[in-house]
Amino acid sequence: MTDATAGATPAVDPGRKSKSIITTDDNTRRRNRAEKRFQYYGIAAIGVGVFFLLALTFSILRSGLPAFTETAVSLEINLSQEQFDEAESKLLKTGAYEQLFVQALQQQLNAEGEGDVEVEEDAVGRIMGNVGSEIREFYLANQDQLGEPVTFNVPASSRVDRYLNGGLSRESLAESKFLTPEDLDIVDRLVEAGTLTNVIDWDFITGTDSGVDNPGGAGLGASVIGSFFMMLVVLVLSLPIGVAASIYLEEFAPQNKLTDFIEVNISNLAAVPSIVYGILGLAVFIQFAGLPQSAPLVGGLVLTLMTLPTIIISTRASLKSVPPSIRSAALGVGASKMQSVFHHVLPLAMPGILTGTIIGLAQALGETAPLLLIGMVGYVARGYPDGIVSGLMDPNSAMPAQIYTWAARSDPAFYEKAWGGIIILLVFLLAMNALAIILRRKFERRW
């Protein structure tokens, strides 16, 4: 046998020259150049990606960070019972309090040796917004504080905010009745005197949305709660449904035309535009089932439909990646199919399932289009839900819907709020991705 094969090989030319491997030949040089070139392409591609990421981060932070601060006057007011009664007896009660504020402000300026700054009531009304009603509301609620010094942090109007952040020019105010260029002089003097300062606006994070005329008071808090309830619905529904469907398809279902058809459809559903799920939700959950509009429950149901294919695909992929030898081993010692799946396959697939689920949730958290159609966009979330049922059923907004609503409002001050909202949304998304990584690490450590 060996003789026969040797005879078939062509003989080597006895006169051939031995090649040196010290000098590289043309072919090798060309190949090396191509490889270098490819590496440069790769580095360039990564560079472009990193540049855009940095540019995006920079622009988001630059435009969004001012939303987290507000310009406020910190002022100590000592209101006596007589002053309170007198103000309450007046016809224009908030005006009376505004007057008291102006007096106190002038006193403080005088005391600090900045007496040359003259604050007149009309200007203060424009600069400080509705300071009068704020003080009145405080004293009405806390009458026991009368006669004691109380420190107020009163926010200035959003226009002052924007002027100080460089977002508003004097020229644009020439015709404005909300704020005049002369008012800005007072603002400048107050800033110099250290009366007007920049403080963190906690209301932006914890507060509710305001109307279109009050950008300064707008907060994302209510829509964070709305998003939270939506995610709760998505998690509670899509994780068990998705995992059960994947396990059945991957481990139990027979391979036939029907399962192939289902498989193809699941892959296609993952690619369906989210607005299609939105209109489906509108038709099925709101118009047919009669669930309330703008409710996080409906939003959650729609997002569940959208997230399910993602979860099923990632769960099936992680089930597939469990080596078949583990299944054989379990069956070989007499485990039933279900025992082999639940005792051995599922624990090994868990990190992948969790990662897929959290990525699916993160995707759902940022999804806006389906929410447009079920009425969550445009709804002004002015209040917090007061319980789980109210949280699910009462109309609310969600983070991306709120951001969209703000961006669509005409007042440029809301634009800044929209950027700020995006920062909060991104923080949540980053936190969820970090959680996915931590969970994967944790589960993978169990060999």
Confirm or reject binding of residue 79 to other proteins (CB under 8 A): no
> Would you say 271 or 333 has its CB closer to other proteins?
333
CB of 342 to other proteins, least distance (A): 11
Residue 404 contacts residue 385 (beta carbons within 8 Å)? no
Measured between alpha carbons, how far is 345 from 272 in angstroms, rounded to an integer? 30
| Among positions 335, 359, 369, 432, the unique one binding other proteins when judged by CB under 8 A | 335
Sheet with 149-155: list strands edge to edge: 149-155, 69-78, 196-200
Confirm or reject binding of residue 254 to other proteins (CB under 8 A): yes
Residue 399 contacts residue 307 (beta carbons within 8 Å)? no
Confirm or reject binding of residue 331 to other proteins (CB under 8 A): yes
CB of 444 to other proteins, least distance (A): 10
Alpha helices in 333-398 (DSSP H): 337-339, 346-365, 369-373, 388-393
Measured between alpha carbons, how far is 317 from 263 in angstroms, rounded to an integer? 12
| Among positions 325, 386, 387, 445, the unique one binding other proteins when judged by CB under 8 A | 325
Confirm or reject binding of residue 426 to other proteins (CB under 8 A): no
Residue 280 contacts residue 305 (beta carbons within 8 Å)? yes
| Among positions 39, 339, 430, 437, the unique one binding other proteins when judged by CB under 8 A | 339
Confirm or reject binding of residue 4 to other proteins (CB under 8 A): no
CB of 343 to other proteins, least distance (A): 7
Question: Interacting stretch for other proteins, rule CB under 8 A, among 35-43, 115-123, 124-132, 342-350?
Answer: 342-350
| Among positions 93, 189, 344, 440, the unique one binding other proteins when judged by CB under 8 A | 344
Measured between alpha carbons, how far is 108 from 88 in angstroms, rounded to an integer? 24
List strand residue ranges (DSSP E) for 141-226, in order. Answer: 149-155, 196-200
CA-atom Rg of the chain in angstroms: 33
Residue 135 contacts residue 95 (beta carbons within 8 Å)? no
Question: Interacting stretch for other proteins, rule CB under 8 A, among 98-106, 191-199, 330-338, 363-371?
Answer: 330-338
| Among positions 271, 334, 386, 445, the unique one binding other proteins when judged by CB under 8 A | 334
Confirm or reject binding of residue 329 to other proteins (CB under 8 A): yes
> Would you say 428 or 443 has its CB closer to other proteins?
443
Confirm or reject binding of residue 447 to other proteins (CB under 8 A): yes
Confirm or reject binding of residue 393 to other proteins (CB under 8 A): no
φ/ψ (deg, to 5) at 222:
-60, -40
| Among positions 302, 330, 341, 381, the unique one binding other proteins when judged by CB under 8 A | 330
Residue 422 contacts residue 64 (beta carbons within 8 Å)? yes
CB of 329 to other proteins, least distance (A): 4
CB of 320 to other proteins, least distance (A): 15
Confirm or reject binding of residue 275 to other proteins (CB under 8 A): no
What's the CA angle centered on 357, arms 335 and 267, to 5 degrees? 85
Picking from 162, 188, 171, 209, the residue whose alpha carbon sits closest to that of residue 66 is: 162
Residue 366 contacts residue 350 (beta carbons within 8 Å)? no
Alpha helices in 366-411 (DSSP H): 369-373, 388-393, 399-408
Number of residues that bind other proteins (CB under 8 A): 21
* DSSP summary character for residue 196: E
> Would you say 190 or 348 has its CB closer to other proteins?
348
Confirm or reject binding of residue 174 to other proteins (CB under 8 A): no
Confirm or reject binding of residue 290 to other proteins (CB under 8 A): no
Picking from 317, 335, 315, the residue whose alpha carbon sits closest to that of residue 326 is: 335
Query: For residue 379, what are its two tokens?
Result: 């709804």
> Binding string to other proteins for residues 305 to 324, with x set by CB under 8 A, is what?
------------------x-
Measured between alpha carbons, how far is 156 from 49 in angstroms, rounded to an integer? 40
> Would you say 18 or 255 has its CB closer to other proteins?
255
| Among positions 2, 5, 23, 255, the unique one binding other proteins when judged by CB under 8 A | 255
CB of 323 to other proteins, least distance (A): 8
CB of 416 to other proteins, least distance (A): 52
Quick count: other Cβ atoms within 10 Å of Cβ 430? 11
CB of 389 to other proteins, least distance (A): 43
Catalog residues that contact other proteins under the rule CB under 8 A.
254-255, 323, 325-336, 339, 343-344, 348, 446-447
